[in-house]
Amino acid sequence: MEFVDGRFELREVQKLEGHTDRVWSLAWNPATGVAGIPSVFASCSGDKTVRIWEQSHPSTSWECKAVLEETHTRTVRSCAWSPSGKLLATSSFDATAAIWENVGGDFECVSTLEGHENEVKSISWNASGSFLATCGRDKTVWIWEVLPGNEFECVSVLQGHTQDVKMVKWHPTMDVLFSCSYDNSIKIWADECDGDDWVCVQTLDEPNKYIPWPCSLVLYLQFLLLCFICLVVLFYFNNFHELHVSSNDTTLLGIFASGHSSTVWALSFSSTGDKMVTCSDDLTLKIWGTDLARMQSGDGYAPWRHLSTIAGHHDRTIFSVHWSREGIIASGAADDAIRFFVEDNDTDGLVDGPKYKLLLKEEKAHDMDVNSVQWSPGEKRILASASDDGTVKIWELASLP
Amino acid sequence: MEDIFDTSLNLEETHLKEGFDDGYKDGLIAGKEEGRQVGLKLGFEAGEELGFYRGCVDVWKSVIRVDPTRFSDRVQKAIKQMSELIENYPVMNPEDESVQEIMDSLRLKFRGISASMGVKLDYNGYPKSFSGAKEIF
């Protein structure tokens, strides 16, 4: 695409101050920024509040329109708008999640979701706005159904992760839930029989879990030869026949799992929904893909496979990643920088999977760790970033002539 | 002649064996007692938790009988599932592999039902999942 040859720069549009503690996360209201409706986004902070920011006109500055306070008693860790843009969900270290509704310019807390034992780290709406998911330090993932009258009912409490779950995100088109954790894995959850029976259908975790190491060299070589033959046979079968992937298990050919080797902090889907990018404390971004057509046709579960690893560009933990509609991957890291990656069409991507290259690196984007980066839903390439330095910055990725 | 010197020569070995046998006998008794204590404690904890769930389920079932519309279908289904799990818990066979699985399922179901009802129920000593070191991210 046009990214490969173009030159870009990241222009700081505005620096938004107001929060009195680190800003953890932000979320753009999906129903704004288009068709003349002013752009709106929410930011949440360690100061226990959520701030709503609005840009009344594309050329004017951003202003704080509302401060949602006096509800959460501890840090607000993450926020998410419902697909209709009418409700805002927030999750907090006080072990609750709150639902806010915009009532004539004022945001009112219309519901509270309790159940987690401790800090709720993330919250996410599904594509139709009928489900909410939360996850937390108690290692569980909760699925809630949205009922009329702002009522919420717990559908399922999912255990599976062995450590703090950092983020949950619903797939952009299907009711399949993804979670990533301090236990280095990504889990995929689906409703098996459409009857509230949510289970873990796949786990994407560390590589080399299934390769045993025999002692003697001769045995080892014989073993490798045997493995190679088996792999060839299995690979053949994998490509030309259906393999049953049992639920609650890793990919059948575990040695191809190629997962992260440290905490997975965030994940983001491509606009097509058949790829996702994950970021980790292991300093890499990983691209995963699936056969979406097969999934959507109801032909059984199509497993996600590791496609590519973007390594060598980060030297500190990557806390946030977001894939834009056009295919630009933005990352925010502990080294205060924001980086952009695009698919590299120069190299032959069909052999080992797609390759990605660094488009731009903005060092010192903030004075401290960048906790969240989010592309705006509007037309222009606008990005918002949140940091430990207590500020939110609006950027524009502009192409140079 | 050799017999008299035999016992003197093997004195250390004999004493070692005697000491070991004594210690073993004492250990058997002490171990059994400790095992009994541990069994009693674990059995009590499991019984207390199971009994607690049984009590909650019994009350909820009564509510459903009195007013079938009080709880949603989903909650009613979960209560039924909990009831089945309690029935299936192998009370007389603690070595059965499914005990941990059933208890875990019961805990999750209970948390989900409590959250849906909007109530906080527990008792002194209710097991909370081990949180480990406090993490602030």
How far apart, in whole angstroms, are the C-alpha atoms of residue B133 and residue B31? 34
Handedness of CA B14, B15, B19, B22 (dihedral sign): positive
| Domain count along chain A | 1
Q: Do B129 and A138 touch (CB under 8 A)?
A: yes
CA distance A357 to A341: 5
Confidence at residue A58, expressed as pLDDT on a 0 to 100 scale:
81
Q: For the segment A89-116, what is each residue's pLDDT rounded down to a tens digit?
A: 999 999 999 999 998 889 999 999 999 9
- In terms of CA atoms, which chain A residue is nearest residue B114? A115
CA–CA dist A166, A125 (Å, integer): 16
User: Is A183 at the interface with chain B, CB within 8 A?
Assistant: no
Does position B8 have pLDDT exceeding 70, yes or no? yes
- The phi, psi pair for A71, rounded to 5°, reads -120, -60
Are the beta carbons of A399 and A8 closer than 8 angstroms? yes
Domain boundaries defined on chain B: 8-117
Tell me whether residue A284 is in a domain.
yes
Instruction: Summarize pLDDT for B36-91 with one digit per residue, the tens.
Output: 999 999 999 999 999 999 999 999 999 999 999 989 999 999 999 999 999 999 98
What are A363-382's pLDDT values in tens digits?
Answer: 999 999 999 999 999 888 99
User: Using a CB-CB distance cutoff of 8 angstroms, which residues of chain B are in contact with residue A281?
Assistant: none
Closest CA in chain B for residue A195: B74
CB atoms within 10 A of CB B110: 23
CA distance to A25, A228, A293, A360, per residue, from A235 (Å)? 42, 10, 21, 37
Q: How far is CA A45 from the centre of its chain?
A: 19
Quick one: B66 exposed, middle or buried, by C-beta within 10 A (0-12, 13-18, 19+)?
exposed
Confidence of residue B105 (pLDDT cuts 50, 70, 90): very high
pLDDT band at A73; cut points 50, 70, 90:
very high
Whether the predicted pLDDT of A295 surpasses 70: yes
Residues 6+ apart with CB under 8 A from A282: A184, A260, A261, A262, A263
Cβ separation of A164 and B104 shorter than 8 Å?
no
Q: Exposed (0-12), middle (13-18) or buried (19+): which is A24, by Cβ within 10 Å?
A: buried
Measure the CA–CA gap between A194 and B84, rounded to whole angstroms: 21
Rounded Cα distance between A49 and A17, Å, is 13
Q: How far is B131 from chain A (nearest CA, A)?
A: 7
Give the closest residue to A175 by CA, choosing from A202, A161, A194: A194
pLDDT in tens, A335-370: 999 999 999 877 665 566 789 999 999 999 999 999
Q: What does the pLDDT read at residue B137?
A: 58
Task: Tell which wins on pLDDT, A114 or A241.
Answer: A114
> How many CB atoms are located within 10 Å of the residue A58 CB?
13
Domain that holds residue A95: 2-211+256-400
Mutate to test the interface with A, among B104, B105, B111 (most CBs of A within 10 A): B111
The reported pLDDT for the residue numbered A189 is: 96
Residue predicted with more confidence, A69 or A257: A69
* Host H or E run for residue A106: strand A106-114
- Report if residue A227 sits inside a domain: no
Buried b (16+ CB within 10 A) or exposed e, A179-192: bbbbbbbbbbbbbe
pLDDT score at A214: 44
The whole-chain average pLDDT of chain A stands at: 89
Helix B11-66 and helix B98-117: axis angle, to 10°?
Answer: 30
Q: Helix B98-117 crosses helix B73-88 at what angle (to 10 degrees)? A: 150
A14/A58: higher pLDDT: A14
Q: Does the beta-carbon distance from B129 to A139 stay under 8 Å?
A: yes
A21: which residues sit within 8 A by CB, 6+ positions away? A45, A46, A47, A75, A390
Instruction: Examine the pLDDT at A187 and tell me if it is beyond 50.
Output: yes
Q: Quick one: which of A293, A298, A362, A364 has its CA closest to A330? A: A362
CATH of the domain at A188: 2.130.10.10
Look at strands A7-16 and A23-28 and give their pairing: unpaired
What's the pTM? 0.85
Minimum CA–CA partner of B118 in chain A: A114
Which of B116, B120, B128 shows the shortest C-beta gap to A153? B116
Q: Is residue A28 part of a domain?
A: yes
Tell me how far apart the alpha carbons of residues A203 and A192 are, in angstroms, rounded to a whole number.
Answer: 16
Q: Give the model's pLDDT for residue A400.
A: 87
Q: How far, rounded to the nearest angstrom, does the alpha carbon of residue A370 sit from its chain's CA centroid?
A: 15
Token readout for B59 is 């009350």
Query: What local confidence, expressed as pLDDT, does residue A165 receive?
Result: 97
Which tokens hold the place of A385?
């970033």
